[in-house]
Amino acid sequence: MEKKRVGIEVSLAVAEAVKLARAQVVSAYPITPQTHIVEELSTYVANGELDAEFIPVESEHSAMSAAVGASAAGARVYTATSSQGLALMHEILFIASAQRLPIVMTVANRSLSGPISIWNDHSDIMAERDIGWVQLFVEDGQEAMELTVAAFKIAEDHRVLLPVAVNMDGFILTHMIEPVIFPAQAAVDAFLPPYKPALRLDPAKPVTMGPVGVPEVYMEAKKQCEQALLDSKAVVAEVLKEAGKAFERKYDLIETNGKKKAKTLFVTMGSLGESVWSAVDSLNEDGEDVGQVRIRLWRPFPEQEFKKACKDAKRLIVIDRAMSPGSACGPVAQELKGVFYKDKNAPEIVNVVAGLGGRDVPVADFKEMYRLAKKGKLAKTYTLWGVDSNA
């Protein structure tokens, strides 16, 4: 059967994915800043196309709190947020993972105030790096739709039982119209069975959730949560493979493109990866020795897979879409410097922080970064692209 491509705004494709996943409770606050995901979901509920409870909460703090309550009561739960809204959820994000609740959340990555900005970068999620959630980054509309469905399967797997954040670039991905092929409901049902909680709030079998962690147990509790997150990597890989089969795509934790065994590699996360891809193709056509590594799974960080992808590289040009003020470089570069520390064959890591607050980074800029890096003219710490002078 011919698969039908539909031109659709990516936000709406994500909402469709949540419907296909048969989410039972959606708690969401629409604005800070807004995407069309939750309004589309509320329309599905209003039209009886999705049998779910839609809770139009009064803030993102309550969105995550209601999500925690609903998930603890045994429902499949979804929410979406962005920027200031994610920041407002901050406190509850840690509790959701500590209570091992398989909530799925779309994060339409956008910059944080101030100055106030509604545009794209990764400063919102980088401030939430240590929340203990599985964190995926997607690059295009098809992937956003499919990995939203896959996120439920990852989260609800009894070997995982952790919340999953699906990160997608706000505005430049969420508000774009892209061609998307939707799977049939039956295919999604076969891929994603109904949620079976390990424990739920049930008067017939009372449990106490969220007790006080006295000093004698607190560290063990944290260790258990981290272990669950570390162990989730194998399940993420397994589910992405299954999703690839079910939806006829291929998803790995870390992906590469461009010249094989290239000496210089761009490292990207999110939709800038597509622009870099174009730049790398063009540079390859010019005979340049450059490739690209794209990070799909950010937490838990797939260290082995990443190192394997970089084993022939002498230089990494790491693109960050967030700053870490007062630190030596951006958060992704920090991570990679940690990964390669004391590694004899460690590649040189140069870091470019680019595209903050929705600043456009065209293909030509990445080619320029490559040329500067090749000449050793990018700063040893990091370059705030377009602001710092490089040469």
Partner 1 sequence: MLRDIAIDFEKITAKNTPKECMISSGHRACQGCGEILAMGMVTKAAGRNIIVANATGCMEIVTSPFPQTAWKLPWLHVAFENAAAVGSGIEAAVKVLHRQGQIKKKPHVICFAGDGATADIGLQSLSGALERGHDMLYVCLDNEAYMNTGIQRSSSTPWGASTTTSPAGKQSKGQHTQKKNLPLIAAAHGIPYVATAAPAFHLDLMNKVRKALAVDGPAYLHIYAPCPTGWGLAGSKSVEIARLAVNTKVFPLYEVIGGRFVISRKPAKPQPVLDYLKLQRRFRHLSEKDVAEIQRSVDASWDYLERLAKATGKGEE
The residues of the shown chain that bind partner 1, judged by CB under 8 A, are 24-25, 27, 51-53, 55-59, 61-63, 65-75, 77, 91-92, 95, 99, 200-203, 205-214, 217, 221
Looking up tokens 């956008």 gives 110
User: 24 in helix, strand or coil?
Assistant: coil
- CB nearer to partner 1: pick between 79 and 264: 79
Cβ atoms within 10 Å of 365's Cβ, excluding its own: 18
In degrees and rounded to multiples of 5, residue 139 shows phi and psi of -115, -30
CB of 52 to partner 1, least distance (A): 6
- CB nearer to partner 1: pick between 57 and 225: 57
Cβ atoms within 10 Å of 304's Cβ, excluding its own: 12
DSSP 8-state symbol, 297: E
Burial of 54 (0-12, 13-18, 19+ CB in 10 A): middle
Q: Mutual orientation of helices 215-247 and 141-156 as an angle, nearest 10°?
A: 130
- CB nearer to partner 1: pick between 189 and 348: 189
Cβ atoms within 10 Å of 257's Cβ, excluding its own: 17
CB of 86 to partner 1, least distance (A): 16
- CB nearer to partner 1: pick between 99 and 148: 99
User: 235 in helix, strand or coil?
Assistant: helix
- CB nearer to partner 1: pick between 13 and 96: 96
Tokens of 274: 């597509």
- CB nearer to partner 1: pick between 80 and 354: 80
- CB nearer to partner 1: pick between 201 and 379: 201
Sheet holding 164-169, edge to edge: 53-55, 25-27, 77-81, 104-109, 164-169, 134-137, 297-299
CB of 30 to partner 1, least distance (A): 14
**Cis before 115 (ω within 30):** yes
- CB nearer to partner 1: pick between 45 and 237: 45
CB of 98 to partner 1, least distance (A): 10
- CB nearer to partner 1: pick between 199 and 328: 199
Beta-bridge partners for 79: 105
CB of 207 to partner 1, least distance (A): 6
Strands 290-295, 254-258: parallel, antiparallel or unpaired by DSSP? antiparallel
DSSP 8-state symbol, 356: G
CB of 18 to partner 1, least distance (A): 14
The rounded radius of gyration (Å) of the Cα atoms in the chain is 21
Q: How far apart are CA 174 and CA 176, in angstroms?
A: 6
CB of 246 to partner 1, least distance (A): 24
DSSP 8-state symbol, 196: -
C-alpha closest to that of 16 among 83, 89, 78: 78
- CB nearer to partner 1: pick between 61 and 263: 61
CB of 134 within 8 A of CB of 164?
yes
CB of 24 to partner 1, least distance (A): 5
CB of 65 to partner 1, least distance (A): 4
CB of 70 to partner 1, least distance (A): 4
CB of 78 within 8 A of CB of 138?
no
